Amino acid sequence: MAKAKKLTKGQQRRIKANQAKKIRQRTESVHWQDDELGSAQPGVVISRFGQHADVEDESGTIFRCNIRRSVDSLVCGDRVIWRQGKETQHTVSGVIEAVEERHSMLSRPDVYDGLKPIAANIDQIIIVSSVLPAFNADIIDRYLVAAEQTGIKPLILLNKIDLLSDELEELIEEQLQIYRDIGYQILYLSNQTKQGIEQLKEILSNSTSIFVGQSGVGKSTLTNSLLPEAQVITQEVSENSGLGQHTTTVARLYHFENGGDLIDSPGIREFGLWHLTPEQVYRGFIEFADYLGGCKFRDCKHQTDPGCALVAAAEQGQIHPERLASFQRILDSLNSNTLTSRFN
């Protein structure tokens, strides 16, 4: 008997894609009649997959649901009104009919979809950075601007501190002190030594939080440590690029046993803000507030313009030059109108 020919990785991907397409076509063909559905009830979106979402009812049971065409931009964390089918059809158990008003929304610009929602009804953003991939202050600043713009409380978490050398620790501490001086909370953590884990659990309790940060900083590993039942797939940082490999592909909401929820989101290496106005970015740098409107010219670009209040404040040591430089880089990205937020 001839030995079966081994499929190439490309062939395996195409087969999986075709199988997923067939399943999607079957589930998308489900059309509920009113008499096939139960009464309306509240639920929470645990995760979304294209035209479907997993909804948790008040008892904690999860149902795969279709989404009515009238329902727009449904995301993880949304509170919804849905109806359960009297029978399951092609793994689909119900339909989402409406979304309740959100108290917060985290979004990012996307080259294909415009402004892309990430998660809803979040109380705090945990901005995860690490020693490997290298500490990145620019992406922290972008997340801080997004947090301030949406009114969501941010916290900066430095992960993998067990990998710190004395020299690198001194360098990163200098950078983190900039954020500490303007009032942001900093948490140091190692999943290997468990330093900071209990403090993080306390911070996450009784609120809905989201881990954000570039790929490879350890968000999924942290999720597994905090919620062993989640068992999120993790990968190593690429030895060639020093960048993270994507592990989480869709945002998902998890519950803590003693209260509080956690949303694990797909990693992104950059976070664009070109959907914001320059003034919105300005207000996202909270220590700049005292200088808003203080420039000599109303159309000041905050670069080399004469009479710029921000440049003067940086020269006088009232704001940190690195924060001003980061602000200027963000403004440049707005002016160039190029996408700086992408999946890799």
DSSP 195: T
Answer yes or no: is 217 a known binding residue: yes
Q: Is residue 215 part of an annotated ligand binding site?
A: yes
Q: Give the pairing type, strands 186-188 and 261-264.
A: unpaired
94 assigned binding-site residue: no
Segment (H or E) for 313: helix 309-315
Q: Prior bond to 154 cis, omega within 30?
A: no
**Does the annotation place 213 within a ligand binding site?**
yes
Q: Which residues pair with 99 in a beta bridge?
A: 80
The answer to the question of whether 294 is labelled as a binding residue is no
* Residue whose C-alpha is closest to residue 215's, from 201, 236, 195: 236
302 annotated as ligand-binding: yes
Cα distance between residue 274 and residue 267, in whole Å: 19
Instruction: Check the annotation: does 233 bind a ligand.
Output: no
CA distances to 23, 29, 34, 268, 344 from 246, rounded to whole Å, are 24, 31, 41, 8, 8
244 annotated to bind ligand: no
Check whether 300 is labelled as a binding-site residue: yes
Is 219 known as a binding-site position? yes
293 labeled binding residue:
no
Residue 76 is labelled as binding a ligand: no
Q: Would you say 65 is a known binding-site residue?
A: no
338 in a known ligand binding site: no
Taking alpha carbons only, the member of 84, 81, 80 closest to residue 65 is 84
Angstrom distance (rounded) from CA 282 to CA 289: 8
Is 216 labeled as ligand-binding? yes
For the annotated binding site for Zn(2+), the residues are 295, 300, 302, 308
For the annotated binding site for GTP, the residues are 159-162, 213-221
For the annotated binding site, the residues are 159-162, 213-221, 295, 300, 302, 308
